[in-house]
Amino acid sequence: MEKYYKYKIEKAVNVSKIITAHYFELTKDFYYPGESHNFWELHYVDKGHLFCHAGDIKHELFQGDLIFYKPMVPHRLTADQSTDANLCILSFECHSEAINQLQDSVYKLNPYEKRLIAKAFSEADKAFELPKLDPYLKQMRPKSNAPIGSMQIIQSALEELIIRLLRKDHAKTIDQAQSLIHYEDKLTNDVIVFLRKHLTTRFSLTELSEKTGYGKTVLCTQFKAVTGKTIFTFLAELRVEESKKMIRDNGGLTNSTISDALGFSEPAYFCNVFKKVTGMSPKEYSRMIHAFDKK
Both 39 and 61 in a single domain?
yes
Both 104 and 245 in a single domain?
no
- The confidence score (pLDDT) of residue 107 equals 93
Both 104 and 216 in a single domain?
no
- The confidence score (pLDDT) of residue 165 equals 94
- The confidence score (pLDDT) of residue 176 equals 52
- The confidence score (pLDDT) of residue 132 equals 60
pLDDT 10s digits, 87-144: 999 999 999 999 999 987 889 999 999 999 999 999 999 999 876 656 666 788 899 9
The DSSP code sequence of the chain is -----------S--EEEEEEEEEEEE-TT-EEEEE--SSEEEEEEEESEEEEEETTEEEEEETTEEEEE-TT--EEEEE-SSS-EEEEEEEEEE--GGGGGGTT-EEE--HHHHHHHHHHHHHHHHHEE--SS-TT---PEEPTTPPTTHHHHHHHHHHHHHHHHHHHHHHHHHHHHHHT---S-HHHHHHHHHHHHTTTS---HHHHHHHHT--HHHHHHHHHHHHSS-HHHHHHHHHHHHHHHHHHH-TT--HHHHHHHTT-S-HHHHHHHHHHHHSS-HHHHHHHHTTGGG-
- The confidence score (pLDDT) of residue 291 equals 57
- The confidence score (pLDDT) of residue 122 equals 93
From 145, 177, 209, give the residue that closes a domain: 177
pLDDT 10s digits, 142-154: 999 999 999 999 9
Could you tell me if residue 1 is inside a domain? no
Both 50 and 171 in a single domain?
yes
- The confidence score (pLDDT) of residue 295 equals 42
Q: Residues of the chain whose pLDDT is less than 70? A: 131-137, 169-184, 289-295
- The confidence score (pLDDT) of residue 231 equals 93
Could you tell me if residue 104 is inside a domain? yes
How many domains, the chain? Answer: 2
Domain that holds residue 135: 15-177
CATH of the domain at 133: 2.60.120.280
